[in-house]
Amino acid sequence: MSARLTNCSSLEQRGVIRFLLAESVKSSEILSRIQRQYGSSCISRVNFYKLVQAFKDGRESITDDTESRRPVDVSTPEAIQAVEDMIRSDRRVTFDEMATNLDIVLDIVQLTQSYMINCIQKSTAVGSPKC
């Protein structure tokens, strides 16, 4: 019996799947073989069948589709400070208004407000240091 491949990428597994599909190997046989070879690092059954369907529908690439991913949320100190300033100037401002006015992702606004609420609660406790 050959040794298992413990260090493998999903890209490598996609290449194997595409190659075996091109050789008309049945999907169930491919899944069985990659599960046996890759063990716990094998792609999930659901993702496997989605990928098989995509290849059968004409997908050529084995790389990730960057367009289908969610945009990366980056919270910079400037964005956090802008949210804090807006909250301090108008306590009734909504998440949507802050996100729109500051042109930032809504998640950053919510996380910043949660952080500020926790700081206020901690600072009002007796003997707690301020944030």
Q: What is the CATH number of the domain that holds 88?
A: 1.10.10
Residue 80 has pLDDT above 90, yes or no: no
**Rounded Cα–Cα distance for residues 85 and 87 (Å):** 5
Angle at 98 between CA 94 and CA 102, to 5 degrees: 175
Burial tier of 29 (Cβ tally within 10 Å: 0-12, 13-18, 19+): exposed
At 98 the pLDDT is: 77
Same domain, 35 and 83: no
**Domain stop point among 41, 66, 91:** 66
Q: What is the pLDDT of residue 33?
A: 92
Domain assignment of residue 56, given as a range: 10-66
Q: Which residue has the higher pLDDT, 95 or 97?
A: 97
Instruction: Report how far residue 124's alpha carbon sits from residue 103's, in angstroms, rounded to the nearest whole number.
Output: 32
Instruction: Tell me what pLDDT residue 67 has.
Output: 56
Considering the domain boundaries, does residue 130 fall inside one?
no
Least confident interval from 22-31, 35-44, 97-106: 97-106
Same domain (yes/no): 98, 53: no
